[in-house]
Amino acid sequence: MSVQPVILSGGAGTRLWPLSREAYPKQFLPLTSAFTMLQETVQRLAGLEAEHPRAALAVLAPIVVCNEAHRFLVAEQLRNIAQPPAVIVLESVGRNTAPALTVAALAALRNGADPILLVMPADHTIRDAPGFRAAVADAVHVARTGAVVTFGIVPTQPETGYGYIRQGAAYPLAGLTGAAFQLAQFVEKPDAATAQTYLAAGDYLWNSGIFVLQASRWLALIAQCRDDLAQAATAAFTQATVDGDFLRLNASAFATCPSDSIDYAVMEHLTDGTLTTPAVVIPLAVGWSDVGAWSALWEVREHDAAGNVVSGDAFVHAAHNNLVLAQQRMVAVIGVDDLIVVETPDAVLVTTKTKAQDVKAVTQFLQQQQRDEHRHHQQVHRPWGSYEAIGHGARYQVKRLVVQPGESLSLQMHHHRAEHWVVVSGTARVTCDERTFLLTENQSTYIPVGSTHRLENPGCITLELIEVQSGSYLDEDDIVRFEDRYHR
């Protein structure tokens, strides 16, 4: 039986600002290991076939569903771990998890197969990967019978930030290595007193948002429960365009798709008598976290003897149970407890762990003020590499550009600014109007206002250069593109 990983990578991660930004959210960050959360999610299944040979499982290349603006981040991070995708499905707008799973199921059926889908958010962490894989093997065994399976996290505290699942009677199926139960009820996020009663009852689990079911089963269920959603998502998929690993959903068709979650669209109907499909929950105690706030990251990271989590150039003295992350400057924390201190090149966050959920208010403020700190880091990633603003004034700004080997910027022109380029390392191929020439370390050139130009890295090492822009208008939207290999 083929297992098709489906990775949903549409989260914004606003409660982890300033590390997580709209253009570079938490699933693309290495928060709990040397790998990003997306990479960890993909690698988590390595070993499933060898560890559970009796299950006769074949794990396929992943289907990733993401925001179109993140397509190159996804492709690059999969390439960096030598994990080619089956396809990367691009959403022009976010429509929640039910439409995302619908288009992923359609993609899984493209070649006439009908695999078991393992649906996972891209931004969760799991400490016990072998334990997770054992539960996946059981879930696939259950899903083969036509049931819909979800995982419930065994609670460790009366958590008010998660929805809950109530488990019913044991699920009668031979061949399971662990426990499985009939899914009795989905429960909304409780208040503190109610969460305490759930913990004491012993039959309530945290809702993990991870699902296992056959692709055709999901399409049948979503058509029964939300036919409007199913039709709109299907239209967007059938009118999609393919560009290499990318499948770009039809934007106008997908824009008409209702926004709904997997839970609301289908799963809750499996417990209210509306549908006859069996629903099963498998308890998980594998060190799971959705890392939904800074306090959650403090919980899953390694602590020092005083309970502090410290990363970067930081000094901590007479302080306990703090999370201190320093990216660029030296940070000193003295005589305080239970704080979150996060320093990035363009922003600093200080809050208590008890108020960590309120960080979203900062991003709302930044959006209202039309400030860019909610969307971009100081280092902005592009498909060809990245750029970083390092200085600016009334009619100039200075940037550091990094162009990866073999990549190039678009052939473009600016109406309002001129540019001076100085190569720091590597080799640049420069097109300026009718001329094309090479620049090497310590050489420079000038791009006049209105000139058609392109910057390329023809070498095998990274190209780094300093760009000085001067003119009356310096924003990024002053770009007229004539040719672009990335189809922007």
Q: Which residue has the tokens 């290349």?
A: 61
CA angle, 22 as apex, 20 and 26 as ends, to 5°? Answer: 35
Give the CA distances from residue 152 to residues 124, 281, 305, 348, in Å, rounded to whole numbers and listed in that order. 14, 6, 32, 36
The yes-or-no answer to whether 2-289 and 379-483 have a common fold is no
What is the per-residue pLDDT across 158-210, written as a single tens digit (0 to 9) for each? 988 899 999 999 999 999 999 999 999 999 999 999 999 999 999 999 999 99
Task: Tell me yes or no: is domain 379-483 CATH 2.40.50.100.
Answer: no
What's the chain's average pLDDT? 95
* Single-letter residue type at 139: A
Residue 368 φ/ψ region, left for φ over 0, alpha for ψ in the -120 to 50 degree band, beta for the rest: alpha
Percent of the chain with pLDDT over 90: 94
Task: Give the bridge partners for 359, in sequence order.
Answer: none
Strands (E) located in 383-457: 385-392, 396-403, 411-413, 417-425, 428-432, 435-439, 444-447, 453-456
Buried b or exposed e, range 237-275, using 16+ CB within 10 angstroms:
beebeeeebbbbbbeebbeebeebbbbbbbbbbbbeeeb
Q: Are 253 and 232 in contact (CB under 8 A)?
A: yes
Which band of pLDDT confidence, cut at 50, 70 and 90, is reported for residue 19? very high
User: HSE on the CB side for 46, CA within 13 Å?
Assistant: 9
User: HSE on the CB side for 33, CA within 13 Å?
Assistant: 15
CA distance 349 to 355: 12
Please tell me the predicted confidence (pLDDT) of residue 12: 81
What is the per-residue pLDDT across 63-101, written as a single tens digit (0 to 9) for each? 999 999 999 999 999 999 999 999 999 999 999 999 999
Please tell me the predicted confidence (pLDDT) of residue 111: 85
Which band of pLDDT confidence, cut at 50, 70 and 90, is reported for residue 488? confident
What is the per-residue pLDDT across 366-400, written as a single tens digit (0 to 9) for each? 999 999 999 999 999 999 999 999 999 999 999 99
Peptide bond into 278 cis (omega under 30): no
CA distance 11 to 31: 15
* 3-state SS class at 63: strand
Please tell me the predicted confidence (pLDDT) of residue 13: 79
Please tell me the predicted confidence (pLDDT) of residue 11: 83
What is the per-residue pLDDT across 130-149, written as a single tens digit (0 to 9) for each? 999 999 999 999 999 999 99
Residue 330 has pLDDT above 90, yes or no: yes
Please tell me the predicted confidence (pLDDT) of residue 275: 87
Please tell me the predicted confidence (pLDDT) of residue 74: 97
Please tell me the predicted confidence (pLDDT) of residue 147: 97
Q: Are 41 and 124 in contact (CB under 8 A)?
A: yes
Q: Which CATH number fits domain 2-289: 3.40.50.720, 3.40.50.300, 3.60.150.10, 3.90.550.10?
A: 3.90.550.10
Residue 272 has pLDDT above 90, yes or no: no
CA distance 255 to 267: 24
**pLDDT, average across residues 214-242:** 97
Please tell me the predicted confidence (pLDDT) of residue 273: 81
Domain residue spans of the chain:
2-289, 294-362, 379-483
